[in-house]
Amino acid sequence: MKLNYKRTALIGFAFFGILLLWQVYDSWCPTFLTDIFARRMYHMSSAELKVSDPDKILNVQWLVGIIMACDNLAALILLPIFGNLSDKTRTPIGKRMPYILTGTMVAAIAFPFIPLFFHKNNIAGMVIMMAIVLMFMMMYRNPAVALMPDITPKPLRAKANGIINIMGYFGGAFATVLGIFMKLSDYINVSDEARKLWIIEVPFIIASILMVISAFVLFFTIKENKLAEALKEEMELGESMAAIETPVDDDKPMSSANKRMLLAILGAEFLWFMADNAVGTYIGNYVIYYMKSSSSNTMLLVIIGGVASVIGFATAGSIADRIGRKWTITTGLAITVAAYILMIFAKPTGVVVGKNGEFSFPVLLFAVGAIRGFGMALVHNCSFPMVVELCSSKKIGKFTGYYYAASMSAQTVTPILLGLVLRRTLAWGTLPVYALIMVVLSCTVFTALVKNIKAKKVANVKGLEAIDGD
């Protein structure tokens, strides 16, 4: 049994497209919504409000949260559906590929229309385009993620998931670089007459093009049906080496021990995504409206966090081999707790450096981004393999749906909840405190309820043989 690094990296092109789109979406859309709601409610742009009455910016965040949460609510419903459907699909190109290709194409076409409608100050068109993109990305996302465990034996999935996530972060990093050179704050902080369309349109167009390319790379290099047949014996061996309390048997109900493990993992996952998505959703507005800094600093923050995440993903599999997946995740959560404690002490510098009166960015937040990125990489790397460890190869899409149901439930609740908290407190400093509370709760649930069961050792082929073709 061996992990084929070349094949795993090629499967990672699916995740490359996912994180590329998600990074552009999360970095730009909440600020689009903030500006457009400010215009509707106060007849002023968010840039004008930032100067004249910054509390009103906080007052619209609950509306931003509702729109962001509605998209996630649709995902909560659709992800398990598409996961279950893809488990039962049989086509000449495989069971996952039809969903990946269809979802990618429609989402890629609709994506550039989001900034176009924003530029035209058309909130209905913008929200409809956001909904279409999210709906078809859900068609794509579950089958794309399920593809790795489809053709990777259970003991190898933590290391394989690290490679998949590293590929995804390359996609996210590319989107972030676009944001540095095409600064959202240069668009938001100027008068309506000075707003140039292509500052906000180009990143979305480039993301769409790269998504399509990544989907075709996946399609032409990964032959699902052929690989499933070739790896049949390895997959069966992997089943016998799984890190679970009781063996999986499709002919019997899920055992009580495995069910407890699944519910505990999903419960803890819900809580850590409550924190993670809260920061992901509001960090752009936090930088622009609280730190009063350039949006390019958000992108630098994401790059630093991404580099730290890549290091985390590269090492998480080896760490899990030594101490087990449970303690790897617990370590990651503890590191993330430390990051949010530091974030509480970050304040606006008050030092003007930008042409639009922007402040310099506090260096402490770059440290926060790096620590948080490394910690959450350990968490994400091991959590998904722990969930699909509890099912057979016939139900990977279904259990991937469970994993995303927990994360999307959190991402549905947390933007609204934090938006209401911000409206109540009128203090951006609430953001790190909220995230800290959720991560502490998650760490408590996970440590107390999840058992540490190490996977049996496998002898990995190394060197050139490990990157051979199939």
Q: Residue 470 above 80 pLDDT?
A: no
Helix extents (H) in 120-196: 123-150, 157-181, 184-188
Contact 137, 21 (CB under 8 A): yes
Name the least confident of 8-12, 233-237, 265-269: 233-237
Name, in order, each residue with C-beta under 8 angstroms of 55's C-beta and a sequence gap of 6 or more.
426
pTM for this entry: 0.73
- Residue 456: DSSP 8-state: P
Supply the DSSP string of 327-395, one letter for each residue.
HHHHHHHHHHHHHHHHHHT------B-STTSPBPPPHHHHHHHHHHHHHHHHHHHHHHHHHHTTS-GGG
Which two structure tokens, joined as six digits, stand for 127?
């929200």
- Backbone angles phi and psi of 361, in degrees to 5: -95, 135
**What H or E segment, with its residue span, contains residue 19?**
helix 5-42
Name, in order, each residue with C-beta under 8 angstroms of 147's C-beta and a sequence gap of 6 or more.
11, 14, 96, 100, 222, 224
Exposure on the CB side of residue 395, measured as CA atoms within 13 A: 14
Specify the pLDDT at position 338. Answer: 96
Between 149 and 368, residue with greater pLDDT:
368
Apex 349 CA angle, 306 and 302, nearest 5: 10
Q: Residue 462 above 60 pLDDT?
A: no
330 C-beta neighbours (distance < 10 Å), count: 22
Specify the pLDDT at position 197. Answer: 67
**What H or E segment, with its residue span, contains residue 106?**
helix 97-110
Specify the pLDDT at position 176. Answer: 72
In which region does residue 248 sit, left (phi positive, over 0), alpha (psi from -120 to 50) or beta (all else)? beta
Q: The tokens 């091991």 sit on which residue?
A: 382
Q: Residue 457 above 60 pLDDT?
A: no
In which region does residue 455 sit, left (phi positive, over 0), alpha (psi from -120 to 50) or beta (all else)? beta
Name, in order, each residue with C-beta under 8 angstroms of 420's C-beta and a sequence gap of 6 or more.
62, 65
Name, in order, each residue with C-beta under 8 angstroms of 467's C-beta and a sequence gap of 6 or more.
4, 5, 6
- Residue 44: DSSP 8-state: S
Q: Across residues 47-63, what is the average pLDDT? A: 80
Name the least confident of 41-50, 119-128, 430-439: 41-50
Distance in Å from the first CA to the final CA of the chain: 13
Give 270-314 pLDDT, tens digit per residue.
Answer: 999 999 989 988 888 898 888 988 888 888 888 898 889 989 988
Residue 125: exposed, middle, or buried by beta-carbon count in 10 A (0-12, 13-18, 19+)?
middle
366 band by pLDDT with thresholds 50, 70 and 90: very high
Between 342 and 409, residue with greater pLDDT:
342
Name the least confident of 50-54, 158-162, 402-406, 426-430: 50-54
Q: Which residues share a beta bridge with 352?
A: 359
Cα torsion through 344, 265, 381, 146, rounded to 10: -130
Dihedral angle sign, alpha carbons of residues 320, 324, 325, 330: negative
Between 338 and 187, residue with greater pLDDT:
338
Supply the DSSP string of 54-84, one letter for each residue.
THHHHHTHHHHHHHHHHHHHHHHHHHHHHHH
Q: Which of 166, 179, 224 is nearest to 25 (CA)?
A: 179
Across 62-66, 420-424, 429-433, the highest mean pLDDT is recorded for 429-433
Contact 64, 415 (CB under 8 A): yes
461 band by pLDDT with thresholds 50, 70 and 90: very low
Q: Residue 432 above 90 pLDDT?
A: yes
Name the least confident of 119-123, 176-180, 457-461: 457-461
464 band by pLDDT with thresholds 50, 70 and 90: very low
Between 366 and 145, residue with greater pLDDT:
366
Give 60-91 pLDDT, tens digit per residue.
Answer: 888 888 887 777 777 778 888 888 888 888 99
Tell me the pLDDT of the chain averaged across its residues: 84
Exposure on the CB side of residue 197, measured as CA atoms within 13 A: 9
